[in-house]
A and B are shown apart, each in its own frame.
Chain A
Amino acid sequence: MEPEKKPHGTEYRTYTLVWMGLVVLTGLTFSVAGMELGGWTVLIALAIAGTKSGLVLNYFMHLRSERLLIFRVIIPLVMAVFLVFVLLTFADLAFRGGAR
């Protein structure tokens, strides 16, 4: 892939900003863990992890600058596949009655 025709140093700057964002989000997830959030805990943890992954995927892995359709489709695709696997498995697990 051709690197973006950015002036020198811009890439390093972007990467460093992303890294700082990742560190902040790590701190956030760490502190949120100490709070009493009941059922929301997992969702928030996953949301933060998802955001961090999004940063890594888009900036470190350059997905953001990909133009071909196939590159834009694959991550949503694998997320959808995984989600389907989990949801259908839980269609079993969450609805077992009695002693199962």
Chain B
Amino acid sequence: MTTTGAAVTFHPRTSFYEDPGRYRGILSWILTSDHKRIGLLYFIFVIAFFFTGVVLGFFMRLEMIAPGGAIMKPQTYNSLFTLHGITMIFLVVIPAIPTVFGNFFLPIQIGARDVAFPRINLLSWWLYIFGAAIVALSVFTGQGPPDTGWTFYAPYSLRTTVNIPLAVFGVFILGMSSILTGINLVTTTHRLRAPGMTWKRLPLFVWAIYATSWVQILATPVIGITMVLIFLERFFGVGVFDPAKGGDPILYQHMFWIYSHPATYIMILPAMGIVSDVVPVFARKKIFGYMAIALSGMAIAAVGSLVWGHHMFVSGQSDFADLLFSLLTFLVAVPSAIKVFNWVATLHKGSIVLEPPLLFCLSFIFLFSIGGLTGLIQGALAPNMHLHDTYWIPAHFHYIIFGGMGFGLFAAFHYWFPKMFGRMYNRKTAKMAWVIMFVGFNVFYFSMLLLGWEGMPRRYYDYLPQFRPLHLTATFGSWILIAGLVVMFANLFHGLFKGEKAEDNPWEAATLEWQISSPPPTENFEKIPVIDHGPYDFKEFSKNG
């Protein structure tokens, strides 16, 4: 695609890479207050932790290729799935899009020079690194890594001799990082919009990050205090969740899921924001139902905070709570469905350009929908009795988190890569990687849906021989998926160093980040722009005028 129409001046000024600020060398990165550099700092580590999580998952699937012990002891398997969960959830999926792309692009998309609190932004990153280090420490010190599952359910988490205190302390620190990022991005969105950038002209990515940030601020403290309490119980025997002292383990689950369910919306909303931004660009058409998408994101954040009990249908909570939470769970499907309908409506009669970003968005819509529909099935009480703690559940959430958020993240990689790095990757290879990943993903996780339906329990090290064929298939699927990931990352990495120089606006998008140079200069804009049109106004770029 070549640049047409709108005057995109090719700025001869330095990009933010060439402008180190007050410090030199590595310090110009780790002591920066430039939101773009901070976004890239997060980028490096999010990817590193993602690879870690994939490796953990790889070994899990390798063990499960046959019944009985294959390559590890049961205790090791328990630790593997615990670490896989902690790594993926707290170090990758929750932070990824807000801290990488929210940091890098939200200020630019609203016409600002940086976030509201640049130095607190840096603090957020340092807390992220510190929290990750503590989690890593819990693996290699004391009696070994946690084995409770990432959910740290009491009373087992109070009794197990492994390194729970360090792990939960790490989660607490990571929570602080998340809260500060949320505070920063809400304040930025409220106070730093350029003249003319009204709420109704914001890119939907900004709306999505905004909704996400509210959940980060309001929900994260609850898991913060819960982790503190586990820590205190282990060291001081406080007794708040310990049944031997009158504590209620079900209350632990309430406190845990009050955050951890909204956390799933912290995970998915930003990815939905990416889809909302990318689809119009590659359909060459204004988004269908802008306000519906913007407000449905807020609705998901709100209603999504009312459904946590659906993780606890078989825990022993009251029947009344079961009914209430099931009903609320069905309600929260509505705003998500609205988004899916609107994306599809945007594509309808659009001028489709099948570039990698759009491919990943299309697969997002498909895989997220499967995830959502399976969610409805398990949200109904009767099926849940059979499906809870079977493979159905991880299959469901991998469809949502990996098929949804993961592919949305990859869409963002492929969409914003030229802007961030000033280079273009090989688009054919990217599409090939996508095909491999899509096939592998479905072979892997659909097998898990079937396994769960058949009754295979989750977090089990061993299984009955009748489950063998599907386990074998799932493991093969995981290998295909990983192969696809390898191709994708290798392609992006290659593009980083050897890719063609990218133009300022290779996708001919209308949002503000595409109207500045690739990569952007430190101050983002020569002059703060005055906005007079919406984010998906493609008139200037239309080849047909």
Touch between chains A and B, by CB atoms below 8 Å: yes
- Note all chain A residues with C-beta closer than 8 A to B325: 88, 91
Asked whether A88 and B321 contact (CB < 8 A) given A70-B190, A81-B218, A81-B305, the answer is yes
- Residue contact A84 to B318, C-beta cutoff 8 Å: no
A94 to B317, CA, bound (A): 10
Do the beta carbons of B318 and A93 come within 8 Å of each other? yes
- Of all chain A residues, the one with the shortest Cβ separation from B187 is A70
Chain B, range 54-104, C-beta contacts under 8 Å to A: none
Q: Are A85 and B317 in contact (CB under 8 A)?
A: no
Cα-based distance from A89 to B321 in the complex (angstroms)? 8
- Considering the complex, which residues of chain A in the window 48-100 have a beta carbon less than 8 Å from any beta carbon of chain B? 70, 77-78, 81, 84-85, 88-89, 91-97, 100
Contact B306 A95 (CB under 8 A): no
Which of B190, B254, B305, B306 has a CB less than 8 Å from the CB of A92? B254
Chain A 30-61 interface mask (CB, 8 Å, partner B; 1/0): 00000000000000000000000000000000
A69 closest partner in B (C-beta): B190
Let me know if B318 and A85 touch, CB within 8 A: no
Rounded to whole angstroms, the CA-CA distance of A88 and B309 in the bound complex is 8
Q: State how many residues of chain B have any CB contact under 8 Å with chain A.
A: 20
Q: Which residues of B contact A91 (CB under 8 A)?
A: 309, 318, 320-321, 324-325
Query: When the two chains form their complex, are residues A92 and B218 in contact, meaning their CB atoms are under 8 A apart?
Result: no
B317 pairs with A92, CB closer than 8 A: yes
Neighbouring A residues of B324 by C-beta, 8 Å? 88, 91
A97 near B318 with CB under 8 A, answer yes
**With A92-B318, A95-B318, A96-B317 known to touch, is A84 a contact of B305 (CB < 8 Å)?**
yes
Shortest Cβ distance from A50 into chain B, in angstroms? 20
For the complex formed, measure the closest distance between the CB of A81 and the CB atoms of chain B, giving whole angstroms: 5
Write out the residue numbers on chain A whose beta carbons fall within 8 Å of the beta carbon of B316.
96, 100
Main secondary structure of the interface of A (DSSP, over half): helix
In Å, the complex CA distance between A95 and B318 comes to: 6
- Is the C-beta of B400 less than 8 angstroms from some C-beta in chain A? no
Q: Is the CB of A95 within 8 A of B190?
A: no
A22 to B477: give the CA distance in the assembly, Å: 66
Does B319 make an interface contact (CB < 8 A)?
yes
Is the beta-carbon distance between A84 and B320 smaller than 8 angstroms?
Answer: no
Closest Cβ of chain B: how far from A83's Cβ, in Å? 11
Which of chain A's residues has its CB closest to B322's CB? A92
A95 to B250 CA separation, bound complex (whole angstroms) = 14
Closest residue on chain A to residue B218 by CB atoms: A81
Question: Which residues on A sit within 8 Å (CB–CB) of B320?
Answer: 91-92, 95
B222 interface residue, CB < 8 Å from A?
A: yes
Residues of A within 8 A of B321 (CB): 88, 91-92, 95
Residues on A with beta carbons closer than 8 Å to the beta carbon of B305: 81, 84
Whether B258 is near chain A, meaning CB under 8 Å from some CB there, is yes
Q: How far is the CA of A84 from the CA of B319 in the complex (A)?
A: 18
Q: Which residue of chain A lies nearest to B312 when distances are taken between CB atoms in the complex?
A: A92
Query: Nearest B residue to A81 by beta-carbon distance?
Result: B218
Please state if A95 and B222 are interface contacts (CB–CB under 8 Å).
no
Q: Check if B218 sits within 8 Å of A96, measured CB to CB.
A: no
- Nearest first, the 4 A-B pairs at minimum CB distance are A95-B318, A92-B321, A95-B320, A92-B317
User: Which B residues form the contact surface with A (CB < 8 A)?
Assistant: 190, 218, 222, 250-251, 254, 258, 305-306, 308-309, 312, 316-321, 324-325
- Given A70-B190, A97-B319: 7 more A-B contacts, CB < 8 Å: A78-B218, A81-B218, A88-B306, A88-B309, A89-B258, A92-B318, A93-B251
Q: List 5 A-B contacts (CB under 8 A).
A: A78-B218, A88-B321, A88-B325, A92-B318, A97-B319
